[in-house]
Amino acid sequence: MKNYLATILLLFPLMIQAQYKSQVWCPDNGDGTYTNPVINADYSDPDVCVGASGEDFYLTASSFNCIPGLPILHSKDLVNWEIVNYAVKALPPLERYNQPQHGNGVWAPSIRYNQFNSTYYIYWGDPDLGVFVTTAKDPEGEWTTPECIIPGKGMIDTTPLWDEDGKCYLVNGWANSRCQFNSVLTVREMSADGMKQIGDPVIVFDGNGTEDRTAEGPKFYKRDGWYWIMCPAGGVPVGHQLAMRSKSPYGPYESKRVLAIGKTDVNGPHQGGWIHLKSGEDWFLHFQDKEAYGRVVWLEPVTWKDNWPVMGEKATRSPEGGNYCGQPVMKHKKPNVGKTYPIQNPVESDEFNTTVLGKQWQWHANYQQTFGMPSPYGYMRVFCHKQSADFKNMWEAGNLLLQKTPADNFTATTKLRLSAKEENQYGGLIVMGMDYQALVLRRVGDEFQLQQITCKDADKGKPEEVKVLATLKATQKDLVTYQPAYHCDAYLQLHVSYIGGKNAEGNNKHEASVQFAWSKDGKKFQTVGDKFTMRQGKWIGAKIGIMAAETAGKKVRGWVDVDWFRVTK
């Protein structure tokens, strides 16, 4: 490993992070302009708020069953973003989310600053359990344990609004899969602290039977005496953004289409958050669904016409008339925030040189100590997942240490060691989704095999296919212990390449090809195995990272020590 260099680095405060510029995607062009997307990674259903100072911006997004959950990203200019925190360390109830719950958990959160009590709030709907909230005085500090404040099925996409008089209202959408209706938005009154429902829901919008079907993801605002609900409709692949306004939080609301695909190839564009700057400018952050890559974040300028927001650049006429509908911008002048800030991108690479796990990493269930642990010696240890007796595939594993794909084209390389005290303990590099592929080292007898593991339709319980690529000698053998350990070192690598293309409807297909490689010395890599078409997970993009597993039974657990993980061109 890296010996004791990491110990020296531990002397530096952990909160101090160096500026990070990605090799594979940086939206800041360095000339006062930016190129979309501003975050080329899966931050689905993004929402954003202005911090207490008026000069900081905080973004959160859906995290579903991935833990830690509710990522908190910080920016000074809406273009350069850094992962600074997570609001949820463990999802309640623990007996449910201690096991993988793909696609469940945190749906479409909203983040708001309540000026009346100087507190940040994040609301979200768990479609099976109800409306949850967590709060903090500092978004980069500790958040409270999540609390279910409105129990019930089907409530999703929740956003609060604190009015000038201190009253609080909550808007939300509904999940047909849980309550057998959707395409409607409702508003109810909450207690002044936002922690208790005191009014019954009122339907303020119904998109059923119209081009605005699948209305969901509402965000609640107030501007110049008008109540505004920003809402995507029409479905994720080909939908559009609606703006609704009323003089009452309960409506009636009039609506117009304000953002659509137009003449671009940006499918959606879907839900997001509206920001008003001190300079007077308005901006809108939203996601674009890129299928296998997940839902990436775009930034649109907002102009005003007849007291209606027009998002993006001028496009085709709105069906309602009046030319209020914009289309996404590809390149644009950066927001006017009063000064220029350094380039900062979400961190991807990790040397594992601290005793705190990097903020780019998430597990696939509430963290348990047997998933893995950092160390002060320059490596991250991931313990083998003990498979169930009727194991089919890794869809059951919570100990997958994964991060989001950061760009259309990139290379991820890791140096690792598999330590096996039993046969059939294995681990390596994985690209995980409803289909997945991994390049692993597996102990077989006193030797190791380099294997390619492929699974199609993992979410449906389909079995893995294993292909042996090479046989390797053990790097080291510890024969003096009561349970001899065999170790194998290797450099494993995956290349992701954008495929593209069009689907039957003529819309962009965001497919990607994955090719694995390996090396003994980290210098000369050999391409191995079959190419793989990357596929998204349940409501999330495909993720990349480390896996380790072993067959069921009472055995001495094996593990993988990851020296480093680097994302490059």
Active-site residue set: 45, 216
Q: Give the Cα separation of 466 and 119 in Å (integer).
A: 52
Contacts of 124 (CB under 8 A, 6+ apart): 62, 70, 106, 107, 108, 109, 110, 131, 132, 133, 158
Distance of CA 518 to the CA centre of its chain: 28
Distance of CA 462 to the CA centre of its chain: 25
Pairing of strands 385-386, 543-550: parallel
- In the chain, how long is the greatest CA-to-CA distance? 81
Query: Taking the CA atoms of the chain, what radius of gyration do you get in angstroms?
Result: 24
Q: Which of 42, 46, 47, 142 shows the shortest CA–CA distance to 89?
A: 142
The DSSP 8-state label assigned to residue 321 in this structure reads S
Render the burial of 394-409: b for 16+ CB within 10 Å, e for the rest.
bbbbbbbbbbbbbbbe
Cβ atoms of residues 312 and 323 within 8 Å: no
User: Any idea how long the chain is?
Assistant: 569
Q: Give the Cα separation of 516 and 188 in Å (integer).
A: 52
Task: Please give the C-alpha separations between residue 84 and each of 14, 59, 70, 75, in angstroms, as whole numbers.
Answer: 12, 10, 11, 10
Within 10 angstroms of residue 30's Cβ, the number of other Cβ atoms is: 9
The DSSP 8-state label assigned to residue 197 in this structure reads B
Q: Which of 561, 563, 564, 565 shows the shortest CA–CA distance to 419?
A: 561
- The β-bridge partners of 203 are 186
Q: Which of 541, 543, 503 shows the shortest CA–CA distance to 237?
A: 503
Q: Which of 154, 211, 162, 163 shows the shortest CA–CA distance to 185?
A: 154
Q: Which helix (H) or strand (E) holds 97?
A: helix 94-97
Q: Which helix (H) or strand (E) holds 96?
A: helix 94-97
- What is the residue whose two structure tokens read 């991931």? 382
Contacts of 541 (CB under 8 A, 6+ apart): 41, 42, 290, 291, 292, 293, 294, 295, 404, 405, 433
Token couple for 385? 């997942």
Cβ atoms of residues 67 and 102 within 8 Å: no
